[in-house]
Amino acid sequence: MRLSSEEKTALHKLGSRRVRVYAPREDIALQGDSPVGVTLLLSGYACRYRILEDGRRQIVALFLPGDLCDPHVFILREMDHSIGALSAAHLAEIDRDTILDVLERYPRITRALWWCTMVDEAIAREWIVSVGARSARERMAHLFCELYARLDTVGLAHDGVCDMPLTQSELAEALGITPVHTNRTLQGLRAERLVTVKAGRLHLHDFDALAEAGLFSTAYLHLDHEGASFDTNEA
């Protein structure tokens, strides 16, 4: 989705084809580690999170199947945050050298990586807008819309239903509110017949109404132009 599928295949083929399976709460990389390379999330949910000295935890990004968990950090010396699996997850590892090699030799893929990084940044900015300017209800509605929209672009959403394996506590850490308040906010949305979460699946009963409730617009996902920047390049 961020990368065109041919691009991903290329990357996947190029990388050592090691695939690792992670369990629901397992950490993939830790704050303080030196970044080892890039991983492509093949299935499941993962996240970036940060833990403050006093234990507070904030999830700062969610990874969905097809996402690259760090097209970049390999440039920095030390991870300033951690990455962990939220559900059972499969990840393909692409080592640092391969990436560096690819960056040098395949301008199309390099551009694709840029593009994908830009979209990640746009999502991060919107996340700031959510926690900074939206109410709890709006944030939750917005997040659900985003998840649905992103999963939809990779064919993992159908008829208003998609995976959403986070516990309410994890949702709370993503939204920047407490678990208790998460529960109540979710009940509110359910009472309005907008969404239900059951067995790790999210049911959107009225996407448009939910988008309105969350002041959601797809603009920042830049879905319009998928891969356009490199399609026009070097055939």
Give me the residues that bind DNA (CB under 7 A), please: 135-137, 167-169, 176-181, 183-187
CB 215 within 8 A of CB 134: yes
Interacting partner of 167 out of a second copy, DNA, none (Cβ under 5 to 8 A depending on kind): DNA
| The total number of residues written for the chain in this structure | 235
Binding mask 92-111 for a second copy (x = CB under 8 A): ------------x--x---x
Closest to 49 in 3D by CA, of 24, 74, 31: 31
Should residue 225 be labelled a site residue for a second copy when binding is judged by CB under 8 A? yes
For a second copy, which residue of 77, 159, 191, 198 counts as binding (CB under 8 A)?
A: 77
| Window contacting a second copy (CB under 8 A); options: 13-21, 55-63, 160-168, 190-198 | 55-63
| Closest alpha carbon to 18 in 90, 75, 89 | 90
Binding partner selected for residue 183 from a second copy, DNA, none, CB under the kind-specific 5 to 8 Å limit = DNA
- CB-nearer residue toward a second copy: 81 or 156: 81
Q: Which single residue is written with the structure tokens 């159908």?
A: 158
Interaction mask 125-154, a second copy, x per CB under 8 A? xxxxx-xxxx--------------------
3-state SS string over 60-100?
EEEECCCCEECCCHHHCCCCCCEEEECCCEEEEEEEHHHHH
Q: 73 or 186, CB closer to DNA? A: 186
Q: Which of 46, 42, 48, 47 is nearest to 19 (CA)?
A: 42
DSSP string, 155-183: T-EETTEEE----HHHHHHHHTS-HHHHH
Q: Interface with a second copy by CB under 8 A: which residues? A: 48, 50, 52-54, 56-58, 60-61, 72-73, 75-78, 80-81, 104, 107, 111, 114-115, 117-122, 124-129, 131-134, 175-176, 215, 219-220, 222, 224-225, 228-229
